[in-house]
């Protein structure tokens, strides 16, 4: 067997935390290998990248997910008892529940609700001296997704629930107080949604049978038992949280439009094909998930390397989307590349790879693309705004990675309305 390259540091956790999106690719390049071993969180871990690695990683006969994610992640981002930690028949059965929600009609309905909230937000933004788009997108999506899912949300709750749902993904990977905020948000949102599940089952709340909250509340496992109320709450949050997390991509769309005005001009034409290509390039080019984890469940060999049972493995998502063997000039932002080729489930993996029904690929990807297309049309055809001088380089040391000032805009007005004054701000050279 070929020896697996190993990092010389006794533990590389701090290096990973300093640059989570590029840690694996950088070390793969240094080792001249698509696979290396590093000690992370005191545990020896294989790190791999590339299309061939993804093909192996998403083979359900070779890898499982139970126990793969660190406990800190399960207690904040994913929640305990959710679909992310299931395997084999239990995973496929639970995944079908989510796939049943992802119908064209349901996704279109969420898009309509989101567009309604974006339009309402413009009236508020026009009165604000400065708008933090990342925070405003969080609010828009919280209201829209709760309405869509059948989660009752009073006006007085919007700020609190937006903050809690955002903390589940924005603070999950932080150290210190940020992580504590995420833990608190997980406890609070679990209690909130568990109570909702109990009310639905007690028929104290009447919801359409096809609503996501109702679908999850009445879902039965392989033994024909209703899910534990806490587990059902985790799964409903596994719809709410990821939709609010699309606020990251919406902010990155704004970033891409600012630094690539030629794309804005093309998008104004309204070509659906180009809008889709632009959205897919944002998903490929910008950081979202850095990597995903699994556990080897049966010994196998790959490219001359041995994978022992029980070994934890990380697959580099961001690095695979920037692999020069797959993508020509991967560090350039070029939406046209998606007009020329159709990606596969293993070379374009911003939200995981493989097949939706069989693997741990996020079924919410369809919602992500739909709402990103809506955001692109909204920003290019529905409103005008100014961008002041600010720090817009992407901060790769944070998860999620965002512009350092999270993108501030001002002088917001509906399309077709002339500005009162002309901005003197100049565009920046992007650093990402």
Greater model confidence, 119 or 424: 119
Task: Say yes or no to pLDDT of 387 above 50.
Answer: yes
Residue-wise pLDDT tens digits, 267-291: 988 789 999 999 999 999 999 999 9
Contact 37, 46 (CB under 8 A): yes
DSSP assigned state of 271: -
Report the DSSP beta bridge partners of residue 313: 46, 294
Contact 399, 173 (CB under 8 A): yes
Range name among 18-22, 98-102, 176-180, 426-430 with the lowest pLDDT average: 426-430
Residue 166 lies in a domain: yes
Considering its fold, how many domains does the chain have in total? 1
Residue 357 lies in a domain: yes
Residue 426 lies in a domain: no
Residue 432 lies in a domain: no
Residue-wise pLDDT tens digits, 186-223: 999 999 999 999 999 999 998 988 999 999 999 999 99
- Tell me which residue of 68, 24, 22 sits closest to 48, measured CA to CA: 24
Q: Name the token pair of 72.
A: 């800190």
The terminus-to-terminus CA distance of the chain in angstroms comes to 38
Give the pairing type, strands 312-316 and 43-48.
Answer: parallel
Residue 128's domain comprises 13-414
Residue 420 lies in a domain: no
Annotated binding residue 263: no
Residue 361 has a pLDDT of 75
What percent of the chain clears pLDDT 90, i.e. is strictly above it? 81
Residue 9 has a pLDDT of 94
Rounded CA-CA distance 427/251 in Å is 17
Residue 372 lies in a domain: yes
Residue-wise pLDDT tens digits, 7-49: 999 999 999 999 999 999 999 999 999 999 999 999 999 999 9
Greater model confidence, 316 or 425: 316
- Tell me which residue of 357, 359, 348 sits closest to 289, measured CA to CA: 348
- Tell me which residue of 291, 275, 289 sits closest to 369, measured CA to CA: 275
Query: What average pLDDT does the structure give for the chain?
Result: 92
Q: Name the token pair of 28.
A: 């793969």
Task: Say yes or no to pLDDT of 418 above 60.
Answer: no
Helix (H, G, I), strand (E, B) or coil at 305: strand
Residue 69 has a pLDDT of 84
Residue 357 has a pLDDT of 63
Rounded CA-CA distance 262/20 in Å is 31
- The half-sphere exposure of 2 on its side-chain side, counting CA atoms within 13 A, is 12
Q: Name the token pair of 390.
A: 């600010």
Greater model confidence, 67 or 246: 246
Contact 139, 161 (CB under 8 A): no
Task: Say yes or no to pLDDT of 423 above 90.
Answer: no
Look up the CATH number of the domain holding residue 227: 1.10.630.10
Residue-wise pLDDT tens digits, 288-336: 999 999 999 999 999 999 999 999 999 999 999 999 999 999 999 999 9
Residue 419 lies in a domain: no
Helix (H, G, I), strand (E, B) or coil at 6: strand
pTM, two decimal places? 0.93
């Amino acid at each position: 067997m070929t020896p697996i390259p190993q990092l010389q540091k006794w533990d590389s956790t701090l290096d990973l935390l300093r640059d989570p999106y590029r840690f694996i690719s950088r070390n793969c390049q240094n080792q001249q290998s698509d696979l290396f071993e590093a000690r992370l969180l005191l545990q020896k871990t294989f790190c791999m990248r590339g299309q061939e690695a993804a093909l192996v990683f998403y083979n359900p006969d070779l890898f499982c997910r139970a126990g793969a994610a660190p406990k800190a992640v399960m207690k904040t981002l994913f929640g305990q008892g959710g679909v992310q930690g299931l395997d084999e028949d239990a995973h496929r059965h639970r995944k079908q529940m989510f796939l049943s929600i992802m119908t064209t009609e349901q996704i279109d309905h969420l898009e309509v609700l989101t567009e309604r909230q974006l339009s309402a937000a413009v009236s508020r933004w026009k009165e604000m001296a400065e708008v933090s788009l990342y925070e405003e997108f969080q609010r828009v999506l919280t209201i829209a997704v709760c309405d869509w899912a059948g989660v009752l949300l009073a006006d007085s709750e919007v700020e609190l629930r937006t903050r809690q749902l955002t903390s589940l993904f924005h603070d999950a990977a932080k150290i210190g107080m940020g992580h504590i905020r995420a833990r608190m948000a997980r406890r609070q949102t679990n209690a909130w949604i568990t109570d909702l599940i109990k009310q639905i089952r007690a028929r104290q709340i009447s919801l359409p049978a096809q609503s996501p909250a109702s679908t999850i509340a009445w879902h039965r496992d392989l033994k024909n038992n209703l899910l534990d109320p806490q587990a059902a709450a985790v799964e409903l949050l596994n719809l709410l949280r990821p939709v609010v997390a699309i606020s990251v991509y919406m902010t990155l769309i704004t970033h891409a439009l600012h630094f690539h005005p030629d794309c804005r001009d093309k998008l104004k034409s309204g070509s659906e094909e180009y809008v889709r290509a632009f959205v897919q390039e944002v998903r490929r080019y910008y950081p979202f998930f850095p990597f995903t984890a699994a556990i080897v469940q049966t010994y196998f060999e790959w490219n001359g390397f041995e994978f022992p049972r029980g070994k934890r493995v990380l697959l580099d998502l961001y690095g695979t989307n920037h692999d020069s063997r797959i993508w020509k000039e991967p560090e350039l932002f070029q939406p046209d590349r998606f007009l020329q080729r159709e990606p596969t489930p293993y070379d374009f993996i911003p939200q995981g790879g493989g097949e939706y029904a069989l693997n741990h690929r996020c079924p919410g990807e369809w919602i992500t693309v739909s709402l990103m297309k809506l955001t692109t049309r909204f920003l290019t055809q529905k409103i005008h705004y100014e961008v002041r001088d600010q720090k817009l380089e992407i901060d790769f040391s944070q998860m999620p990675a965002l512009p350092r000032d999270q993108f501030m805009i001002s002088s917001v007005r509906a399309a077709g309305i002339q500005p009162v004054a002309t901005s003197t701000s100049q565009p920046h050279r992007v650093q990402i």
